[in-house]
Amino acid sequence: MADVVVQLKVLPVGIEVDLNRLQDQIKDVLPGNARVYKIIEEPIAYGLKCLKVTVIIPDAEGGTDPVEKAISSINEVSRVEVELVSRM
């Protein structure tokens, strides 16, 4: 089974969110079959930043849903958007 690279845009609820702590929370809540490749901060506007999270998951039924739901369950996360899905 091939792996899939998924890039997610994670938007925090506000500028007061500690993005380093949020990165740790994302790593903690990911399903066991997902692994973080990299996380970068990207400015949006007026001091608000988002996290671009690149995750590697197995190509399986359900796709990116388990990863999206896990990250969305974090209280400091406002929204999760899938930006890219590609087979490795």
Strand segments, DSSP code E, in the chain are: 3-12, 35-45, 48-58, 77-87
Q: What is the CA radius of gyration of the chain?
A: 13
Predicted confidence (pLDDT) per residue in 28-84, tens digit: 999 988 999 999 999 999 989 999 999 999 987 778 999 999 999 999 999 999 999
Query: Please, what are the domains in the chain?
Result: 3-87 (3.30.70.60)
Name the pTM for this structure. Answer: 0.91
